[in-house]
Amino acid sequence: MIESIQTVFTQPNLLFLLNGLRTSLVISLCVIILSILLGTLLGLVRNYEKKVFGKLASFYIELFRNTPLLLWMLGCAFLIPGSTILVKGSLALFLYTAAVVAEIVRGGLNAIPKGQFEAAHSQGFSFFQTLLYIILPQTFKKIIPSLLSQVITTIKDTSFLAGLGIMEFTRSGQVILGKVTKTSEVFLIYGFLAVVYFIICFTLSVLVRNWHEKNSGNV
């Protein structure tokens, strides 16, 4: 076992894995930020615009939420001309995640009492001012646990990019797998990947749980 550990966890291999992990985290961060922006817009449109744009938002959300993520990754990779495979795969993950975030936001919006619009209107707030200063701040406070859960899911979903050959964390482990010959070394690599994913996701889960417990009385 010691020999297997020394074979797998050499300095070049560790640096290679850490570089893949950095790629996964950067992709996750970019996807999450953009998905929150687009998802919030989609959630608002679906909730408050019942005509053309509301129907288009509903179609977009249902289309992505009811089809596999890997299918969209493959579609973007092979059907979109130009750009790099990294950008195409990340685009698919972004579009998919935005649809999920939109439903989370819509759920938060529906949890806000309708009377707050009337109260804000009586104070001279316009519809958009009410959304910006009253509704959205309360909405995001309510949906933080659900959003963090989606953040965790997005981090894990970056592993699908390995199927496109993108050198993220899981793909980096697969490359190293091609260099080993013993079963114990295979288990060490997969175990290392699992432990790192677990540490990142569990840490985020604990942080949001603690935050929610401290602020639940104010929600």
**pLDDT averaged over every residue in the chain:** 90
| CA–CA distance, 193 with 109 (Å, rounded to integer) | 37
| CA–CA distance, 96 with 99 (Å, rounded to integer) | 5
**Confidence (pLDDT) at 219:** 47
Q: Give the pLDDT band of residue 218 (cuts 50, 70, 90).
A: low
153-192 pLDDT, tens digit each:
999 999 999 999 999 999 999 999 888 878 888 899 999 9
The residue ranking higher by pLDDT, 215 or 108, is 108
Question: Percentage of the chain with pLDDT > 90?
Answer: 59
Reported as half-sphere exposure (CB side, CA atoms, 13 A), residue 214 has a value of 7
70-83 pLDDT, tens digit each:
999 999 999 998 88
**DSSP string over 54-76:** HHHHHHHHHHHHTS-HHHHHHHH
Average pLDDT over residues 1-20: 86
Buried b (16+ CB within 10 A) or exposed e, 84-97: ebbebbbbbbbbbb
**Confidence (pLDDT) at 24:** 95
The residue ranking higher by pLDDT, 195 or 212, is 195
Question: Which amino acid, 129?
Answer: Q
**DSSP string over 83-124:** S-HHHHHHHHHHHHHHHHHHHHHHHHHHTS-THHHHHHHHTT
Is 89's pLDDT higher than 80?
yes
111-123 pLDDT, tens digit each:
888 888 888 888 8
| CA–CA distance, 202 with 208 (Å, rounded to integer) | 10
List, in order of start, the domains of the chain with CATH numbers. Answer: 2-218 (1.10.3720.10)
